[in-house]
Amino acid sequence: MEIKQIDGGVTSALGFRAASVAAGIKYKGREDMALVFSDYPCVLAATFTQNVFAAAPVLYDREILKNGNPVHAVIFNTGIANAGTGLRGRETNLFMAAEMARELNVHPDEVLTGSTGVIGYQLSEEPIYEGVKKLKERLDRGPDTDRRVAMAIMTTDTVPKTAACSFEVDGKTVTVGGMSKGSGMIHPDMATMLSVTTTDAKIDQYVLQELVKESVDDSFNMISVDRDTSTNDTYIVLANGQSGVKIEKDTKSYELFREALRFVCISLAKQMAADGEGATRMMEVIVTGAKTHEDARILARSVTASNLVKAMVYGSDANSGRILDALGYAGVDFDPDLVDVTLLHEDEMMLLVQDGVVCRIDEEKATEWMKEKRVSFLCELKQGREGATAWGCDLTHDYVNINGDYRS
C-alpha cells in the first residue's frame, strides 16, 4: 500500500470546507481573506517563527496551541502582516478571531489566525467585519476552492501552492491536503511563512505534533529564498478524524500517514522555493556522506542560501568554487580533501569537484544544463552516512526590483 497523489488542497480531507473573499484589507481587485473550516473539532499541531518580533497572530496561535483544546478554523488575511504593531495589533487580531468565531458559532479560542504582508501597518476592523460574514457564506469544497483559497493568501507569490495525497487503511481512505504561501523573506526556522494542512485522520495531539516537527524539519525548514526569517512563519495542521482511521505509533498506518504528511510538506516547500521572489529557476542541493543529519542539513542550506551561488545559478555559470566556499563557511567541521560535487541533469551527471579540487569541465554543456527550470547539485562528503536535501532559487534582477520597491 502506498500514498497516492491527488488533485486537491485544504478541502480534500473529509469534513473540511474553505472560502476566500476580496475584503479590501490593502490590495485592490483581488481576494485577500481566506478561511479553512472543519465541521468537526480538530486536533491541532503547529510550528511558528522563532523571530523575536513575532507577529500578533503568531503570539495568539501559540497560546491556543499551548492550551491544547480542539479547534475548528483558521482565518487568514494578506496585505498586512500585523507585526511591529504592538498592543493595538494584538487587539485587532483578537477581533478578527472573535468575529469569525461568532459567524461560525464556535468559541473564539477555536479559531486560529494568520496574517501576511507588509510589517508595521495596522489592520482596520471595518473590512474584517464585512469579510468574515462573506467567508461564512461562501464555504465550499473541491480543487477549485482549494486553488482559489491558496491564491487569496498570496503576497509576492506568482502561483498558488497546494498539495494533497491519500492512502487506504482497511478499506477506509485517509486524506492529507494543504496549501502555503511564501516567496520572499523565506528562510524558515521551525515553519514557513503561512501554511495549513488538513487531514481526516484520527490522531492524538502529541503524536501529530511530533510528526509535524519532523516533517517541517525536512521540508519547510530546508528552503531559502533570501535568508530572512519572517516574523509571521506559521504552519498549522488540523486533524478532524472523519476518515475513521486512527493513526497510532508503530503501525503500518502510522508510517503511511507520516509519508503522506511528508509528501504534502515537501511538495509545498518545493513549490515555494521555485516561486521565490524574482526566481527563474529552482536550485536543489543534496548532501550525502555527512557525519550527522544535522551537519547535512546545515551544509545543504548553506549552499542554497548563498547569494553568490544563487547569482551563479541565475547566470547558468557552473562556478563550483562558490559551492565549496558555501560548504566551507557553514560552521560544520569536515575534511575538504574528500569532497566531490556533481551537477545532476535528468539521467546524466557531471563531476565539478573531485576530492576537494575543482575539475576542468565542458562549460558549454554545464551552462546548457543550468538553463533548466531545476538545477541540482550533489555534494558528497564521503565521511559518514547521513544526508539531507535543501531547496532554493536563483538571485535575479527581479528580486532587486521587487524588494527595492515593495511598499509603494
Residues labelled catalytic: 192
- Closer Cβ to a copy of itself, 252 or 397, answer by number: 397
Q: What is the DSSP string of 250-294?
A: TSHHHHHHHHHHHHHHHHHHHHHHHT-TT-SSEEEEEEEEESSHH
Q: Give dist(CA 72, CA 386) in Å, integer.
A: 39
Q: Which of 22, 94, 311, 350 binds a copy of itself (CB under 8 A)?
A: 311
Site for a copy of itself in 113-152 (CB under 8 A): 118-121
- Closer Cβ to a copy of itself, 29 or 404, answer by number: 404
Q: What is the DSSP string of 18-37?
A: EEEE---SS-SSS--EEEEE
Among residues 267, 261, 263, the alpha carbon closest in space to that of 198 is found at 261
The answer to whether residue 85 forms part of the interface with a copy of itself (CB under 8 A) is yes
The answer to whether residue 156 forms part of the interface with a copy of itself (CB under 8 A) is no
- Closer Cβ to a copy of itself, 12 or 306, answer by number: 306
- Taking the CA atoms of 54, 60, 61 and 64 in sequence, report the sign of the dihedral they define: positive
The answer to whether residue 226 forms part of the interface with a copy of itself (CB under 8 A) is yes
Calculate Rg over the CA atoms of the chain: 21
- Closer Cβ to a copy of itself, 126 or 363, answer by number: 363
The answer to whether residue 84 forms part of the interface with a copy of itself (CB under 8 A) is yes
Q: Which of 7, 329, 351, 368 binds a copy of itself (CB under 8 A)?
A: 329
64 near 234, Cβ under 8 Å?
A: no
Q: Give dist(CA 110, CA 97) in Å, integer.
A: 9
Stretch that binds a copy of itself, among 43-51, 67-75, 256-264, 382-390 (CB under 8 A): 43-51
Kindly state the number of chain residues that form the binding site for a copy of itself, as judged by CB under 8 A. Answer: 68
The answer to whether residue 407 forms part of the interface with a copy of itself (CB under 8 A) is yes
Query: CB 316 → a copy of itself: shortest distance, Å?
Result: 8
The answer to whether residue 384 forms part of the interface with a copy of itself (CB under 8 A) is no
- Taking the CA atoms of 386, 214, 264 and 247 in sequence, report the sign of the dihedral they define: positive
Stretch that binds a copy of itself, among 48-56, 63-71, 195-203, 287-295 (CB under 8 A): 48-56
Q: Which of 1, 159, 349, 357 binds a copy of itself (CB under 8 A)?
A: 357
The answer to whether residue 283 forms part of the interface with a copy of itself (CB under 8 A) is no
284 near 377, Cβ under 8 Å?
A: yes
Helix (H) or strand (E) holding 378, with range, is strand 374-380
The identity of residue 403, as a single letter, is: N
The answer to whether residue 372 forms part of the interface with a copy of itself (CB under 8 A) is no
Stretch that binds a copy of itself, among 6-14, 32-40, 248-256, 310-318 (CB under 8 A): 310-318
Cβ burial, residue 133 (10 Å; 0-12/13-18/19+): middle
Q: Give dist(CA 85, CA 75) in Å, integer.
A: 19
Interface positions with a copy of itself (CB under 8 A)? 49-54, 81, 83-86, 88-89, 118-121, 184-185, 187, 189, 226-231, 305-308, 311-312, 314-315, 317, 319-322, 324-329, 332-334, 336-337, 353, 355-358, 395-397, 399-400, 402-408
